[in-house]
Amino acid sequence: MSTDVITSVRTALRSVLHWKPPAPRSGGPAAWALLPLTERVPALAAPCRMHPAVYAIEAAVIDWARRTGLRADPGVGFHRIAGRAFAGFDAAAAALFAQWLTWLFHLDDEMDEGQGRLEIFQGMLAGASSHPLEAAFADLWRVTSARMSDLWRARFAVNLQRQHDACRLEAANRAAGRIPTLQQYPALRRATVGPYLYDLVEPCLRVEVPPWLHGCEPWRELVDACNDVTAWCNDVASRPKEAGDGHNLVVIAMHELGLNQRQAVAWVLDRIVERCGDMREAAGRLPLDAFGPRTARDVSKVACAYLAAPRAHLDWLMESARYA
């Protein structure tokens, strides 16, 4: 993490030695449809604990956003989802991940609402954009990639290109009035949500899992299931915000299965419950015995962050002003 961000974190830490969790804010009505998951999935039953330095994390995100020209609305609370997902790690790890989340959601909004959407993305990939998103990306990339291998950088670049390609397909679908099928949608959604987010856990935790593990079936299933759970929960919460867009699992279920909205939400919740089970099962099959103690510990750290992500995301959906 850059020196100025570390300084910001340390300064803010001095003021939160006696931090107590604030009262939760109210998210939008659509997000509350996800509450049955807390009774159906044991791993989602209890709220995540919050990082004790959550205000320091928030300060680091706001300072970074102002410096790079992005907005950092405290009511949206990206620092809070990172504070939950990285509650057991240092504040710098959570702050870096929250900065990436801030960048990703700005990009998502540009893709959904902005002008010249794909042009911005293409310019960023080519390093030729003057948009604030490009400057923010360059800043994050400089800090994040410095500690990682060439293989990790290549994997991140592939996943960034995956998002670009998926967003192009989404744009073509919207222009043609096409709605993806239930068979097509999961892979498309995994790509549009930002698959490199899962790569970012490693540099945030200052570890790097063995390259061959990323091709291992249990690891791929763990990542894909975690991606599906968080993305589909987001679909339920964001459906009113995305009215008229067919790239939403609830909308696709209504369209393809002939369900009304309530039935479609219930159908999506059933799929989320299934994928939560897949995620836990995959985690139990990780080949930790193939590693030495230090590498096994590093792999476990990353896997634990994945396993914490769905409940951290669920708590955030309930309180974030983004979905109010």
Domain coordinates of the chain in residue numbers?
Answer: 1-16+50-129, 147-310
Position 26 scores a pLDDT of: 44
Task: Calculate what percentage of the chain has a pLDDT beyond 90.
Answer: 71
Confidence of residue 3 (pLDDT cuts 50, 70, 90): very low
Average pLDDT over residues 289-304: 96
The pLDDT tens digits of the residues spanning 108-132 come to 777 655 444 556 656 665 655 567 8
Instruction: Give residue 98's identity as a one-letter amino acid code.
Output: A
Position 123 scores a pLDDT of: 62
CA-to-CA dists, residue 44 to 52, 156, 199, 238, 307, angstroms: 21, 29, 23, 20, 10
Of 28, 35, 25, 27, which Cα lies nearest the Cα of 265?
Answer: 35
The pLDDT tens digits of the residues spanning 11-47 come to 332 332 232 333 334 445 788 999 999 999 999 999 8
- CA 78-230-144 angle, to 5 degrees, is 50
- Give the length of the chain: 324
Non-local CB neighbours of 202 within 8 Å, separated by 6+ positions? 148, 152, 208, 209, 302
Domain 147-310 fold: Farnesyl Diphosphate Synthase (1.10.600)
Position 109 scores a pLDDT of: 74
The whole-angstrom separation of Cα 120 and Cα 132 is 10
The pLDDT tens digits of the residues spanning 153-183 come to 999 999 999 999 998 999 899 999 999 999 9
Tell me the whole-structure pTM to 2 decimals.
0.86
Position 124 scores a pLDDT of: 61
Non-local CB neighbours of 261 within 8 Å, separated by 6+ positions? 250, 254
Non-local CB neighbours of 286 within 8 Å, separated by 6+ positions? 216, 218, 219, 222, 299, 303
Average pLDDT over residues 211-232: 97
